[in-house]
Amino acid sequence: MNKYLLLGLSVLVILLIGAIFFVSNMENSNTNVLGAVSAFSDLSPDQFNQALNSGKYTLIDVRTIDEYNAGHIKNAKQSDFYQTQAFSNYLDSLNKNANYLIYCRTGHRSASAMQIMQQKGFASVYDMAGGYNAWVANGLPVEK
């Protein structure tokens, strides 16, 4: 047999095996409806809004009550991250197998809250990159 034909067939077989491996891994991955692989990651304001609109997530605002009262995302439950014991108690009262979206003003407190939730055994928590400020900057709806 021609050596170029054998080389071509070998390359084709390798590509086919690679394609099968890739498809198999995609089907078995931990990918959610947003396309995020990790159950603990940041979402852009638009991705966050998409997840929120899916109705599959509980929304938590970890800012202070004064920040919340000045404006918040509709249907957000407020629990102040700075009130350490009360915040921990609030987290302990939640279903750890449910899906959560969290945010703060700029993303720092909510990133820390997401780490705490992961340590407490929560299965699915997403933080909004840039926080409430990014939400507002993207022209997304708020209520007071």
Cβ within 8 Å of residue 52, ≥6 positions away: 59, 73, 101
Q: How many residues does the chain have?
A: 144
Is the same domain home to 66 and 122? yes
Averaged pLDDT, 73-98: 97
91 occurs within a structural domain? yes
Is the same domain home to 83 and 120? yes
| Number of structural domains in the chain | 2
Is the same domain home to 66 and 127? yes
User: In terms of DSSP bridges, do strands 124-128 and 77-78 run parallel, antiparallel, or are they unpaired?
Assistant: unpaired
142 occurs within a structural domain? no
143 occurs within a structural domain? no
How far is C-alpha 107 from the geometric centre of its chain's CA atoms?
13
- State yes or no: pLDDT of 2 exceeds 90: no
pLDDT digits (tens, 9 = 90+) for 25-47: 333 333 444 544 468 889 999 99
Q: Are 59 and 52 in contact, with CB atoms under 8 Å apart?
A: yes
The pLDDT of residue 110 = 97
Is the same domain home to 39 and 69? yes
CATH number of the domain within which 93 lies = 3.40.250.10
Q: How confident is the model at residue 6 (pLDDT cuts 50, 70, 90)?
A: low
Residue with structure tokens 């997403």?
126
pLDDT digits (tens, 9 = 90+) for 125-134: 999 999 999 9
Dihedral sign, Cα of residue 71, residue 74, residue 77, residue 82: negative
Tell me what percent of the residues of the chain surpass a pLDDT of 90.
71
Is the same domain home to 72 and 118? yes
Is the same domain home to 23 and 83? no
How far is C-alpha 54 from the geometric centre of its chain's CA atoms?
13
Q: How confident is the model at residue 18 (pLDDT cuts 50, 70, 90)?
A: very low
Is the same domain home to 19 and 80? no
pLDDT digits (tens, 9 = 90+) for 50-72: 999 999 999 999 999 999 999 99
Task: Mean pLDDT check: name the lowest of 16-25, 56-65, 98-107.
Answer: 16-25
Mean pLDDT, all residues of the chain: 84
Is the same domain home to 110 and 41? yes
The domain in which residue 79 lies consists of 32-137
Q: How far is CA 79 from CA 64, 75, 89, 128, 135, in A?
A: 7, 13, 10, 16, 19
Q: Which amino acid is at 25?
A: N
